[in-house]
Structure 1
Amino acid sequence: MTGGERAPAAPLRTIRLELVPLDPEADAGPLHRAYGDEAVMRWWTRPACADAGETRRYLTECAGLPGARLWTVRSSDGPGRGDVLGLAGLLGAVDVPGLTWLLRRDAWGHGYAREAARAVADHALGPLGLDRVEAWVEAANHRSRAVAAAAGLGERARLGQRYPHREHPHEVIVLGRAREEEPTAVLGTVVELPVRDVAGTLRLVTAALGARTTFAMGDPPYLAEVGLSPWSGGPRFRLAAMDPEEPPSPVLLHLDAATRLDALHRAAADAGAPVSGPPVLRPWGRREFVITLEEGHELTLSGPG
């Protein structure tokens, strides 16, 4: 199932909590205790909401995005039974389903966020049948990193980000958890290959490398990015339309294929990519094979010998 598919939300229960599907109209008032608190919103993607009306509009917008599944977090026992402590769920309109959580300040320090986040992650990868979930957490936000770890999410990538209301950029850790084990196929960096046919080369390399298109500009495309990992911010390279009057300038691109070298070789051969042959053990202790593109670019894929 992809993150854009919609599934009916159902209540979730943990040992101490009940997660009830969000009703923006009814829940905006109590949730404003979190969304209107600058201390709670310190790490958020937007500033604190000015009033309950703004909180309601924001929650309505979030709940309406494709793939969004949001629950209010409520106490299921004690004198505060039924109180809305915060929100947890899955963000909508994102490439990889995004795990999110937010609690009002007086609910901090009791492990509620960990309990709620774990319940949502388990539900997403279990009954919902999603392949993976991820959370983007600032490197300096140690409390949220601990919540993500308790929900079973591990580090997948790092990237720089700056929210419109922030003065300075910040480092984000992409933490993820998959339903089945997913070793990273390629470790590398972003380079740009000039090619005559961006669309055709894009089709070839995505099939050969089991990759995905992260963006394509123009129709037909004159610039496209190939993502070599299912996670946001993973290894990638770009294809750019070259001047047809200029001779090609071949680029040598080395891709560390880790433990998936043989699988990638089979995929490249099945896609009809011009491969050099089976992986060969090199004197420096790496097994390698080469995909040579029309312009002479060489994509050398290597793995441990």
Structure 2
Amino acid sequence: MDLRTSRLELLPLDPDEHAEALHAVYGDPAVMRWWTCPERASVERTRQLLTEELAGPGALLWAVRRAEDGAVIGVTGLLGGVALPGLTWILARRAWGRGFAAEAAAAVVDHAFRHVGHDRVEAWVESTNTRSIAVCRKVGLTERGRFVQRYGHRDRPHEMIVLGRAGTPDPVSVVHLQPVVQVVDVAATAALLVAVLGARVSFIAGEPAHVAGIVLGPWSTGPGLRLVRPPRGECAPVELVLDVGPGFVGLRESALASGVAGVEPIVDQPWGRREFALRLPEGHRVVLSTPS
């Protein structure tokens, strides 16, 4: 089904028909900077990539054609083989800065809700990709969460933002989850987390302290936990897993430098993660994990 906007025509993607024109997109390193794979070296490699993307279960992809001159300038649509419909778009560099991406993405979102029957769509955008984040906001997607990912051609992991939009307002939304960890010395443990993990103390109460809020980062809110002193000083050990990004190795160095006991070696896990752990004085095991 063709889709039309005031300036664009969205045509069902045909790898054989559109690969040559789209190689100007997928063969450009600047355009592919945030993509899941590096730039394609040939028209045939571009055709192969388009074919693979179309093969995902539930994929709906369109070639973006400019109405004024008939030039094919990119691709937009919904990714297949994902848990929730994944909004995607990519445009030739010559088409940047004119609002085409938001115009095309808005048409896809409208089609997804009105004609396909989806009740929500989401987009995964790298946190440094400010252009794509702006497109998401223009078409009504808002931030729903963050996680760390590493593409196979990258030498470092990166932070991804999940932005989403529901067809009707969500009746209930869990905004934040905060585990509670029992510790004998709240103030000392808070200071240790500040030194090792770059955490921030959002509040601390009592003399001596019996409760503290810890934010695992420099901002006013974000991933965090609450430290509490148990009534009788007995703490059942727990395990916490922290998903971290490019600073993974530096965090282990900070842990070793702080003198905290039980800093374990970095291990490559079979589920595609690199991990190391440290232990708090009460025996709590804190695992720091990043994509391999």
> Per the shorter chain, which TM-score range?
0.5 to 0.7
2:55 to 64, 79, 96: 64
In the alignment, which residue of structure 2 is the partner of 1:299? none
Counterpart position of 1:218 = none
Task: Verify: 1:89 aligned to 2:89, yes or no.
Answer: no
**2:37 corresponds to:** 46
Indicate yes or no: 2:147 matched with 1:159: yes
What runs of 5+ residues in structure 1 fail to find an aligned partner?
Answer: 1-9, 192-234, 236-248, 252-305
TM-score of the superposed pair, with normalisation by structure 2: 0.60
Show the counterpart of 2:104.
Answer: 116
Matched, 1:74 2:62: no
Distance 1:60 1:189 in 2: 43
- Distance in 2 between residues matched to 1:41 and 1:30, nearest whole Å: 16
Separation in structure 2 between the aligned mates of residue 128 and residue 190 of structure 1, nearest angstrom: 39
Inter-CA distance 161–190: structure 2 relative to 1 (3 Å threshold) = farther
Corresponding residue number in structure 2 for 1:180: 168
Deviations 1:220-243 (A, max 9, x none): xxxxxxxxxxxxxxx9xxxxxxxx
Q: What is the CA–CA distance in structure 2 between the aligned matches of 1:186 and 1:156, rounded to whole Å?
A: 8
2:92 corresponds in structure 1 to 104
2:18 counterpart (2, 27, 35): 27
The yes-or-no answer on 1:148 pairing with 2:139 is: no
| Dislocated runs of 4+, deviation >3 Å | none
Partners in 2 of 1:190 and 1:136 — Cα distance?
26
**Mapped partners of 1:189, 1:96: distance in 2:** 25
Superposed, which structure 2 residues align to 1:1-305 within 5 Å? 10-77=1-68, 81-182=69-170, 183-185=172-174, 187-188=176-177
- C-alpha displacement at 1:186, in angstroms? 6.4
Deviations 1:243-289 (A, max 9, x none): xxxxxx898xxxxxxxxxxxxxxxxxxxxxxxxxxxxxxxxxxxxxx
Residue identity matched to 1:107: A
- Shift in alpha-carbon separation, 1:169–1:82, aligned structure 2, 3 A: same
Displacement of 1:85 after TM fit?
Answer: 0.6
Query: 1:277 matched to which residue of 2?
Result: none
Displacement after TM superposition at 1:185 (Å): 3.9
What value does the CA root-mean-square deviation take over the aligned residues? 2.2
Give the letter for the 2:62 counterpart. Answer: W
How big is each residue's C-alpha offset from its partner over 1:76-115, in whole Å with a ceiling of 9 and x where there is no partner?
12xxx21101000000000010000000111111110010
- Secondary structure in structure 1 of the residue aligned to 2:121: strand
**Deviates most, 14-23 or 118-127:** 118-127
1:190 to 1:60, Cα distance in 2 relative to 1, 3 A = farther
Q: Could you state the TM-score of these two structures normalised by the residue count of structure 1?
A: 0.58
Query: Structure 1 250/166 Cα, relative in aligned 2: closer, same or farther at 3 Å?
Result: closer
Q: Which residue identity is paired with 2:90?
A: L
- Tell me how far apart the structure 2 counterparts of residues 112 and 186 of structure 1 sit (CA, whole Å): 32
Q: Offset of 1:187 from its aligned partner?
A: 3.2
